[in-house]
Amino acid sequence: MAGRGPWISCSGMSFPATRLRRLRRTGALRGLVRETDLSVDHLVYPLFVTHGQDRREPVASMPGIERLTISHLAEEAGQIAQLGVPAVLLFGIPADKDTAASGAYDDEGIVQLAVRALKQAQPDLTVITDVCLCEYTSHGHCGVVRDDGEVDNDVTLELLAKTAISHAAAGADAVAPSDMMDGRVGAIRAQLDSEGHSEVPILAYSAKFASAFYGPFREAAESTPEFGDRRGYQMDPANGREAVREAKIDVAEGADMVMVKPALPYLDVIRRVREEVDVPVAAYNVSGEYAALKAAAANGWLDERGAVLESLTAIRRAGADVIVTYHAKDVARWLQD
């Protein structure tokens, strides 16, 4: 073998080392054998809609992201549709909050009005609504809080189901419960079916971890808890098997899709969930992940385009069929280049 270059051994056989590099030599060859694709069709863009008139409020910790009043939704929806992003995930910030989260299920609430505006402006844009109470409660927790400070699971289920019904009635294409109450998928599915909305799918936040990566979102959605934290109902970041159990339970209760949130610190969980369920798997590339890359790019420490595309490809490679990401509009532009 002298004069033929370095050799490697594999399964008892020897091959020239260059064999591993031949298909990497040109861009065309790399594209031909690429195992994981990333396209705009995989992306969902989060939107924050707020009360008031004619305002676009930048979120300081999330460069490029704004809270929009309904008057600006048509413009934003048009831009999203023009870029080819197929879906949005809608979060509402109401004018008033109370302990019963009444703004969440008000038929004339901020999200309900926004859904109607979006569907009128862009009928083909898929509108998914976040179903949770944290933006609407005066204390910032995701459910009704009892006198002892604990979130009342079963009372909260009733309000979540009412919220999902109001979203569906407004025209939402899918509802996405993110509260992590036990049994909420079953309660919402039963209510949707009984009130004539059996065609509306549920995207369940099945494995939502009590993560340190939510800070910028809580600024954007004005949903930071006034006391305590959410560790009593969101998942412990140390638990992977539990995430699989949660996903399986949600599918059994009627979830049409399941989600892992956050994405990048939980690629192993995305993979495990993908292997264990037969429904589509979504991953939420959350605000802290977005803010970290934006800050690094702004300081010249990373190439933003390269880092974002690599990150989202990794989420796809882990098994996500759908990626909710604040990078969606930028990625759509980059993929068109």
Contact yes or no for 70/25 (Cβ under 8 A): no
Rounded Cα gap, residues 317 and 301, in angstroms: 25
Rounded Cα gap, residues 291 and 264, in angstroms: 13
Active site residue 208: yes
Q: Which residues pair with 204 in a beta bridge?
A: 258
Contact yes or no for 257/203 (Cβ under 8 A): yes
Nearest to 175 by CA among 132, 238, 237, 124: 132
Helix (H, G, I), strand (E, B) or coil at 334: helix
Nearest to 49 by CA among 70, 71, 78: 70
**Identity (one letter) of the amino acid at 289?**
E
- How many other CB atoms sit within 10 Å of the CB of residue 39? 11
How far is the CA of 28 from the CAs of 17, 34, 97, 337, in angstroms? 21, 10, 55, 16
Q: Which two tokens stand for residue 293?
A: 């890359």
- Chain centroid offset of residue 245 CA: 20
Active site residue 97: no
Nearest to 238 by CA among 216, 210, 261: 210
Kind of pairing, strands 281-285 and 322-325? parallel
Residue 243's Cβ-count burial label (10 Å; 0-12, 13-18, 19+) is buried
Contacts of 16 (CB under 8 A, 6+ apart): 4, 5, 6, 7, 8
Kind of pairing, strands 7-10 and 13-16? antiparallel
Residue in 119, 162, 261, 329 annotated catalytic: 261
Residue in 119, 208, 294, 329 annotated catalytic: 208
* Active-site residue set: 208, 261
